[in-house]
């Protein structure tokens, strides 16, 4: 009898793997629990080909997302200077603060791009002027833009 069997998981199994993973398990565990419960199926040549095709599709999908993030970064850095108008008091101090929602709105207005608020990292802005701001578009792509705070 084989020492280990290779299974393709149909469902997430705690401490073993996620749906679609290839795992090596003891023959008894596979025969008595995983296969009868529908958690996994024994691996065949056809299943291995399907797994390879699925992985290739996923790799291409992730690559397309990365390329789209890079193009968005280029678009943001081409425009680069975004102006937010605020009410100003003495010594160019602004009333209130510049919020990430204001940055999202000005980017949508000027560049036509949808950005999530959580992706924006704003410095502390208390006066008028230009401030560098980071926008995380992807795990590997961060765009740096300039936010200009000006008086009304």
Report the pLDDT value the prediction gives residue 43, as an integer from 0 to 100: 94
**Mapping DSSP to helix (H, G, I), strand (E, B) and coil, where does residue 97 land?**
coil
82 near 147, Cβ under 8 Å?
Answer: yes
The structural domains of the chain, ordered by start, are: 5-62 (3.40.5.10), 65-151 (3.10.430.100)
Q: Going residue by residue through the chain, which has 152 residues, state the pLDDT in tens, using 9 for 90 and above.
A: 568 999 999 999 999 999 989 999 999 999 999 999 999 999 999 999 998 999 999 999 999 999 999 999 999 989 888 999 999 998 889 988 899 999 999 999 988 899 999 999 999 999 999 999 999 999 999 999 999 999 98
């Amino acid at each position: 009898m084989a020492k280990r069997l290779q299974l393709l998981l149909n469902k997430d199994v705690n401490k073993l793997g996620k749906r679609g993973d290839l795992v090596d398990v003891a023959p008894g565990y596979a025969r008595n629990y995983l296969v009868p419960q529908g958690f996994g199926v024994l691996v065949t040549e056809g299943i291995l080909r399907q797994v390879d095709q699925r992985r290739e599709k996923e790799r291409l999908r992730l690559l397309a997302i990365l390329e789209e993030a890079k193009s968005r970064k280029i678009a943001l850095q081409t425009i680069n200077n975004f102006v937010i108008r605020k009410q100003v008091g003495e010594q160019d101090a602004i009333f209130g603060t510049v919020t990430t929602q204001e940055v999202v709105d000005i980017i949508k207005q000027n560049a036509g791009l949808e950005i999530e608020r959580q992706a924006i990292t704003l410095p502390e802005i208390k006066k008028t002027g230009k401030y560098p701001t980071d926008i995380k578009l992807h795990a590997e792509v961060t765009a740096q833009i300039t936010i200009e705070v000006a008086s009304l």
